[in-house]
Amino acid sequence: MKTISIASLSLALTGAVALTAADLRIGMIGLDTSHVVAFTQVLNDPANPEHVPGGRVVAAFKGGSPDLEDSRTRVDGYTKELQDKWGVKIVDTLEALCAEVDVVMLESVDGRPHLEQARPVIKAHKPLFIDKPMAGSLRDVVEIFRLAREAKVPCWSSSSLRYYPGLIELKQAVVGEIRGAVSTGPAPIEPHHPDLFWYGIHPTEALYAVLGTGCESVVRTSTPDTDVVTGIWKGGRVGTLIGIRNAAAPYRVTLFGTKAVLDQKPGGDYAPLLREVMKFFQTSIAPVSPEETIELFTFMEAADVSKRRGGAPVKLSEVLSR
């Protein structure tokens, strides 16, 4: 009669699959977002139709922010699911996590602790992907990239919207010379974060995905239910962000070119982003530059300054120089 070890039985019961020699050991920081469950399902389950091979989530640091309801009320449930269903090892310190893994995904839903959570990862020289928002302030975004650059640690951040199929198709379409774009999406406000950092980052990222860097100034019009941020890019291109609250707000980009005007097709999931994350972990080449990420956070920070100034134009260079 064949003997079944306790370890083998545990793997079978949790649905976990043994690592292969080619698999990267992935660690997660911050188990207070649905992303940790969704990402682990795609990375760890070969039977998943959207499975992304190359690595497995094997260890995690719970984290959590007691003063943030979206964190406090969800962290225990997501932690239990990763342990019970996927056999993920929960560790007590970030240093212990780094000792268990090859690469790290920083997932904390709260951007405020990201800088301090990134420090030991960078010190341990582990390639690092940071989920949205990269941090809770522009200053922290700049500091994370500075630390990573000085330590020569690959690091990047992105919203999943950047890799939605409809947006990729829009970027590849022939529209002639691009004159501008409008990006729409939900933008609920969370009081611990600058207004657009919480959810407005998604349509902001989509706007930068089609226009790239080069925004020079922004103007923001704000009401309790709607934000409209208009940016002027070098060469006269105009990028408009429309953030909507308390109403239907599908993610959508309209691209204006000299030959055509096209709308983004709806739909998308996390798999395309995770494929980019895995490529990054395997090559150490970030698909989004620090300069672009810093600029889009400067765009959002400048929008807050414009709001405080009653809708006056604000130069990004002024905000970044602070």
Q: What is the DSSP string of 33-51?
A: SHHHHHHHHHHH-TTSTT-
What does the pLDDT read at residue 20? 64
Element (H, E) at 121: helix 114-123
Q: Quick one: pLDDT at residue 7?
A: 35
Collapsing DSSP to helix, strand or coil, 73 comes out as coil
Tell me the C-alpha distance between 153 and 122, whole Å. 6
pLDDT at 152: 98
Write out the two tokens for 122: 């960078």
Helix (H, G, I), strand (E, B) or coil at 141: helix
Low-confidence ranges of the chain (pLDDT < 50): 1-16
Token pair recorded at residue 67: 């003063």
For the beta carbon of residue 183, count every other beta carbon within 10 angstroms.
Answer: 29
Query: Do 87 and 11 contact (CB within 8 A), yes or no?
Result: yes
Which has the closest alpha carbon to 204: 232, 219, 184, 226?
184
CB atoms within 10 A of CB 312: 11
> pLDDT digit string (tens) for 177-233?
999 999 999 999 999 999 999 999 999 999 999 999 999 999 999 999 999 999 999
Strand partners, 156: 129
Q: Residue 175 phi/psi, 5° resolution?
A: -120, 5
Q: In angstroms, how far apart are the furthest CA atoms of the chain?
A: 79
Show the domains of the chain with their CATH numbers.
Answer: 6-157 (3.40.50.720), 161-321 (3.30.360.10)
**Residue labelled with tokens 């560790």:** 91
Q: Can you give the pTM of this predicted structure? A: 0.92
Write phi, then psi, for 60 (nearest 5 degrees). Answer: -155, 155
What confidence score (pLDDT) does residue 249 get? 92
Residue 322 is predicted with a pLDDT of: 83
CB 244 within 8 A of CB 183: no
Contacts of 13 by beta carbon, 8 Å cutoff, 6+ apart: none
pLDDT at position 305: 98
State the Cα–Cα distance between residues 212 and 231, nearest whole angstrom.
12
pLDDT given at position 5: 36
- Record the tokens describing residue 21, joined without a space: 């020699």
How far is it, in rounded angstroms, from Cα 44 to Cα 63? 21
φ, ψ for residue 208 (rounded to 5)?
-70, -25
SS3 214: coil
pLDDT at 22: 73
Instruction: Count the Cβ atoms, other than its own, within 10 Å of residue 192.
Output: 14
